[in-house]
């Protein structure tokens, strides 16, 4: 026979108080007398009563469930970026005892926000209208991985311009002059900003931008393969490549080795992400570490403070990527 589930009515009966009084004690309403509070707390402990979390939230007039909206793309669950974002948000929700509702979007369908207290948008890729609609409903929002200056929305992002500039400057510091890049998708802010950082570093050193050295990729391994084939077909070949992602950088190294080149002796390669896969290839990948887990975790903590009325100032935060030096870069051959 299954054990009877203890209800709030059972607690009220044992304590000799009303159900309303029990509810007020559970929800920490301060108007309950010390005597009645002690009775309820004794009954809760004696009966080992576990309050219904959803009921508690409704009683407080507060829904602390978090919605995560992530643009869908092929291979999303094999993406280091997506996995780190989900892992960071999930960890913060677990720590703060929040529910998480996950929605993969094509950017066009309206969102059902009835069951959440706040929404985190993982980047803005063709889903700006969803953010505008959520803001119009008065629901607290947080955008991650995208700097948003033209909407009154909170954001936490990685400084992609600074990261790409640091990566390119590292290659310049090794005396490379012929530095190419395989970009991420230029439909994304990260792709555009990483290209800008690459250009900024070259301009700072008064090195002319060579359009032949800029291959527009899309973060896929296929685009990286095509990009290296293009760059190796040039009469004046680059001696180093800044790749806008580690996945592409690893494919560039694979293709270079297939073609009989040595990395880094014949070609230096630097990536962006700090994907653990960069540790286990034929050459340890030098890269820019972006704090994805921290970005996701901070987003939940800030959003929870906003929903709970503990924060009233906007969140506008840029996190710095860090250079991770391994074995895939060296000075060019003389």
Q: Name the phi and psi angles at 104, rounded to 5.
A: -95, 125
pLDDT for position 21: 84
- Exposure of 74 by Cβ count < 10 A (0-12 exposed, 13-18 middle, 19+ buried)? exposed
pLDDT at 2: 47
In angstroms, what is the C-alpha Rg of the chain?
26
The first and second tokens of residue 231, run together, are 């760059």
In which residue ranges of the chain is pLDDT below 50?
A: 1-2, 54, 57-58
Report the C-alpha gap between 186 and 109 in whole angstroms: 24
3-class SS of residue 278: helix
Q: Write down the pLDDT at residue 138.
A: 85
Cα-based torsion angle of the residue sequence 64, 65, 66, 67 in order, rounded to the nearest 10 degrees: -140
Fold of 160-290: Rossmann fold (3.40.50)
Where do the CATH 3.40.50.2300 domains begin and end in the chain?
A: 66-158+292-320, 160-290
In angstroms, the CA 276 to CA 292 distance is: 13
Q: Six-digit token pair at 325?
A: 């030096």
Please tell me the distance from the alpha carbon of residue 218 to that of residue 187, in angstroms, as a whole number: 9
Between strands 118-122 and 100-105, the pairing is unpaired
How far apart CA 334 and CA 316 sit, in angstroms, is 46
Instruction: Please give the span between the terminal C-alpha atoms of the chain, in angstroms, as a whole number.
Output: 83
Write down the residue that tokens 């906007």 correspond to.
314
pLDDT value for 54:
46
Task: State the pLDDT at residue 90.
Answer: 95
Which of helix, strand or coil describes residue 282?
Answer: coil
The reported pLDDT for the residue numbered 1 is: 40
Report the C-alpha gap between 292 and 117 in whole angstroms: 23
Over the stretch 6-20, which tens digit does the pLDDT of each residue have?
Answer: 888 889 999 999 877
Instruction: Return the CATH superfamily for domain 66-158+292-320.
Output: Response regulator (3.40.50.2300)
Stated pTM of the model? 0.78
How far is residue 16's CA from residue 153's CA, in Å, rounded to a whole number? 49
Single out the residue of 235, 234, 194 nearest to residue 216, CA to CA. Answer: 194
pLDDT value for 318: 96
289 bridge partner residues: 273, 322
């Amino acid at each position: 026979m299954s054990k009877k589930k203890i209800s709030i009515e059972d607690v009220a009966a044992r304590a000799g108080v009303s159900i309303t009084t029990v509810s007020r004690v559970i929800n920490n309403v301060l108007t309950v007398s010390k005597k009645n509070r002690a009775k309820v707390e004794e009954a809760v402990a004696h009966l080992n009563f576990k309050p219904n979390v959803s009921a508690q939230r409704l009683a407080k007039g507060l829904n602390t469930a978090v919605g995560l909206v992530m643009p869908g793309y092929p291979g999303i669950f094999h993406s280091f970026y997506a996995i780190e974002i989900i892992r960071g948000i999930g960890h913060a929700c677990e720590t703060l005892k929040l529910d998480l509702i996950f929605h993969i979007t094509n950017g066009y369908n309206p969102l059902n926000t009835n069951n959440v207290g706040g929404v985190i948008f993982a980047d803005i890729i063709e889903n700006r209208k969803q953010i505008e609609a959520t803001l119009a409903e008065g629901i607290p929002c947080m955008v991650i991985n995208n700097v948003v200056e033209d909407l009154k929305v909170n954001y936490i992002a990685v400084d992609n311009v600074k990261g790409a500039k640091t990566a390119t400057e590292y290659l310049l510091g090794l005396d490379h002059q012929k530095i190419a890049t395989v970009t991420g998708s230029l439909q994304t802010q990260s792709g555009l900003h990483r290209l800008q950082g690459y250009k900024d570093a070259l301009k700072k050193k008064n090195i002319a931008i060579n359009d032949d050295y800029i291959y527009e990729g899309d973060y896929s391994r296929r685009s990286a393969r095509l990009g290296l084939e293009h760059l190796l077909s040039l009469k004046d070949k680059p001696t180093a490549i800044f790749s806008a992602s580690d996945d592409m950088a690893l494919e560039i190294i694979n293709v270079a080795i297939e073609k009989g080149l040595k990395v880094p002796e014949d070609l230096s390669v630097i990536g962006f992400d700090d994907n653990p896969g960069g540790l286990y290839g034929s050459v340890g990948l030098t890269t820019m570490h972006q704090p994805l887990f921290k970005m996701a975790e901070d987003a939940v903590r800030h959003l929870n403070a906003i929903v709970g009325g503990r924060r009233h100032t906007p969140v506008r935060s840029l996190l710095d990527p860090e250079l991770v030096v391994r074995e895939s870069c060296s000075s060019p051959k003389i």
